[in-house]
């Protein structure tokens, strides 16, 4: 391809020049630490993108490989004293890659199936989830894994089949009505995004979120016609589809009337908060900006409204995994910890590298299974050395990945969302009463 056609119009010169290549990001970048290769560092990738934009580098296979090798965990953003918006640079680059490169017919069909099929309508995802649930519950999964049946189809399928999450016995709509009134006085009107994967794999966490909110003076609205947040689409370059979902949700959540849109999956929250900026030039920027500005992570929101501390005592040792899209993407570190330690008897034992990516990183564990597994092993080792019995994680993707790591390491660890823990404490308190 002619390099002059490869201009990245929305990555401004200023955005790239902000990086003064000091190297402070290197030790925090998982792909650099694993490979010790400069081009696999944020500093290296920014320089490659700059070279592309200046026409010094062609749109090579190696370039694309490198851009996709990045986890987009944004640990570098936290480390960067200069405040480089690395996430925006890499995501915009990937969008251009998606638009300009020829992808194989197979990949295109698969992508279309996922983005316009599965993730467009939650019902379709739920249908698939029911099939998987049946597969998991009937013992078929055991049979298939045991006799390596997935391996007959393809090596990749064999690699990724065990990554699939344990499907919830009930989905959110079977657990929650569309509206739950606050217990006592209503101080806040909030809506709850139930998520796509969250809904089928962690529906109980959605229940816990709603139950905790109503116990903190919130009316909770859980519209069943809500759509996926759009991050899956945006991160795979399907920006228009992402925008469609955002606008659909502006209406579905009655964004003008609510005080906050509550998110319990860090990835969704991070994308929604940034969507205002991503679509700042779009026709419907005002609505999207409003959606972005009202988005709150559940832990963040509870700390903002000074949530009620539970009185019950839970005798537990836990450790906390900082989801990238919470710690680096949304700069939320203390709020989940505040919730955890608000519960009497709960001991929070910090692990090493708590803010290191677990390898989940959107679909990274599917596209780059080997690297993802290396990161997962590292994470599981750090978790195990705390001797905690519960690992707290506030992001769907991380929880699925950690569950996989725990299963394969033969550990007895349990995974909970901070809000699951708080809900458990409220429940214990109510039982005592």
Partner 1 sequence: MVNKSKIIEKLTLISGSENVLTEPEDMISLSYDGTPLYEMLPLCAISPQTVEQISQILKAAHELEFKVVPRGTGTGLSGGAIPVANSVIVMMHHWDKIIEIDEKNLTVTVQPGVITQDLHTAVEACGLFYPPDPGSMKICTIGGNVAENSGGLRGLKYGVTSSYVMGLQAVLPEGSIVSFGNKCVKNVSGINMKDIFVGSEGILGIITEIVLKLIPKPQDQKTMLAFFNTIEDAGETVSAIIAEKIIPCTLEFLDQTTIKCVEDFAKIGLPIEYEALLLIEVDGPSIIVEDEAARIIDICKKHGAQNVEFARNSEEAEKLKTARRAAFTALARVKPTTILEDATVPRDKVAPMLRQIQIIAKKYNLLFGTFGHAGDGNLHPTCLTDERLTDEMERVELAFEEIFKVALEMGGTLTGEHGIGVAKKKFLAKFEMPANLQLMKKIKTTLDPNNILNPGKVFDL
**Interface with partner 1 (CB under 8 A):** 13-14, 17-24, 26-27, 36-39, 41, 43-45, 47-48, 51, 56-57, 60, 62-63, 66, 80-83
Q: Parallel, antiparallel, or unpaired for β 188-192 and 295-297? A: unpaired
CA 136 to chain centre: 24
Q: Which is nearer to partner 1, 226 or 330 (CB)?
A: 330
Cα separation values, 102 from 61, 107, 108, 158, 427, Å: 11, 10, 9, 26, 54
Strand partners, 414: 390
Helix (H, G, I), strand (E, B) or coil at 313: strand
CA–CA separation, 292 and 123 (whole Å):
25
Residue 193: partners with Cβ closer than 8 Å, 6 or more residues away: 226, 229, 249, 253, 261, 262, 263, 264, 265, 268, 272
How far apart, in Å, are the Cα atoms of 394 and each of 221, 228, 298, 316?
21, 18, 9, 18
Minimum distance, C-beta of residue 332 to partner 1, in the bound complex (Å): 13
On the CB side of 157, CA atoms within 13 Å amount to 9
For every residue of 95-124, DSSP letters joined together read: HHHHHHS---HHHHHHHHIIIIIITT-HHH
Question: Which residue number, 14 or 433, has a Cβ lying nearer to partner 1?
Answer: 14
Question: Is 14 or 185 the residue whose CB approaches partner 1 more closely?
Answer: 14
Q: Which is nearer to partner 1, 43 or 133 (CB)?
A: 43
Rg over alpha carbons for the chain, rounded to the nearest Å, is: 22
Minimum gap (Å) between residue 79 Cβ and partner 1: 8
Phi first, then psi, for residue 262 (nearest 5°) are -90, 135
Q: Do the Cβ atoms of 343 and 310 come closer than 8 Å?
A: yes
Identify the CA nearest to 101 among candidates 49, 139, 60.
60
- Residue 65 or 138: which CB sits closer to partner 1? 65
Q: Find the shortest distance in angstroms from Cβ 81 to partner 1.
A: 4
Q: Taking the complex as a whole, how short is the minimal distance between the CB of residue 363 and partner 1, in angstroms?
A: 23
Between 82 and 103, CB nearer to partner 1:
82
Q: Burial of 22 by CB count in 10 Å (0-12 exposed, 13-18 middle, 19+ buried)?
A: exposed
Q: Is the CB of 79 or the CB of 252 nearer to partner 1?
A: 79
User: Considering beta carbons, is residue 61 or 106 the nearer one to partner 1?
Assistant: 61
Pairing of strands 179-180, 218-221: antiparallel
Residue for token pair 């959107």 = 362
CB 26 to partner 1: min, Å: 5
Q: Which is nearer to partner 1, 20 or 131 (CB)?
A: 20
User: C-beta of 10: minimal distance to partner 1 in Å?
Assistant: 18
Structure-block tokens of residue 294: 């009202």
Write down the least CB distance from residue 58 to partner 1, Å.
8
Which residue reads 């939320």 in tokens?
A: 332
Shortest CB 37 distance to partner 1, Å: 7
- Least Cβ distance, residue 397 to partner 1 (angstroms): 27
Identify the CA nearest to 227 among candidates 254, 246, 255, 205. Answer: 246
Q: To the nearest whole angstrom, how small is the minimum distance from the Cβ of residue 271 to partner 1?
A: 23
* End-to-end Cα spacing for the chain: 71
Specify the residue, 23 or 181, whose C-beta has the smaller distance to partner 1: 23
């Amino acid at each position: 391809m002619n390099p002059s056609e490869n201009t990245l119009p929305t990555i401004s010169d200023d955005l790239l020049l902000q990086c003064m290549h000091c190297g402070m990001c290197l030790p925090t970048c998982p792909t650099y630490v694993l490979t010790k290769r400069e081009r696999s560092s944020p500093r290296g990738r920014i320089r490659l993108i700059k070279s592309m934009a200046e026409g010094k580098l062609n749109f090579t296979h190696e370039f694309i490989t490198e851009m996709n090798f990045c986890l987009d965990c944004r640990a570098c953003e936290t480390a960067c004293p200069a405040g480089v918006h690395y996430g925006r640079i890499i995501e915009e680059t990937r969008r251009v890659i998606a638009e300009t490169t020829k992808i194989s017919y197979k990949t295109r069909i698969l992508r279309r199936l996922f983005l316009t099929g599965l993730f467009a309508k939650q019902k379709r995802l739920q249908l698939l989830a029911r099939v998987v649930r049946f597969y998991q519950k009937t013992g078929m999964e055991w049979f298939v894994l045991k006799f390596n049946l997935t391996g007959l189809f393809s090596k990749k399928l064999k690699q990724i089949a065990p990554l699939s999450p344990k499907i919830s016995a009930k989905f959110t709509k079977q657990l929650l009505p569309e509206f739950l009134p606050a217990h006592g006085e209503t101080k806040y009107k909030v809506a709850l995004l139930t998520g796509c994967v969250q809904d089928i794999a962690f529906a109980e966490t959605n229940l816990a979120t709603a139950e905790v909110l109503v116990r903190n003076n919130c009316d909770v609205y859980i519209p069943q016609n809500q759509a996926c947040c759009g991050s899956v689409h945006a991160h795979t370059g399907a920006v228009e589809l992402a925008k469609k979902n955002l606008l659909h949700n502006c209406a579905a959540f009655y964004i003008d009337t609510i005080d906050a849109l509550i998110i319990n999956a860090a990835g969704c929250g991070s994308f929604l908060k940034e969507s205002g900026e991503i679509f700042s030039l779009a026709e419907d920027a005002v609505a999207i900006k409003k959606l972005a500005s009202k988005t709150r992570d559940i832990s963040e929101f509870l700390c903002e409204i000074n949530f009620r501390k539970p009185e019950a005592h839970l005798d537990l040792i836990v450790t906390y995994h900082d989801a990238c899209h919470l710690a680096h993407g949304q700069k939320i570190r203390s709020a989940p910890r505040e919730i955890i330690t608000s519960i009497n008897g709960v001991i929070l034992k910090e692990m090493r590298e708590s803010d290191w990516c677990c390898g989940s990183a959107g679909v990274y564990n599917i596209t780059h299974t080997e690297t993802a597994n290396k990161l997962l092993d590292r994470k599981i080792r750090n978790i195990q050395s705390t001797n905690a019995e519960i690992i707290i994680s506030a992001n769907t993707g991380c929880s699925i990945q950690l569950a996989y790591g725990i299963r394969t390491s033969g550990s007895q660890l349990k995974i909970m969302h901070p809000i699951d823990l708080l809900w458990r404490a409220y429940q214990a308190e109510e039982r005592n009463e």
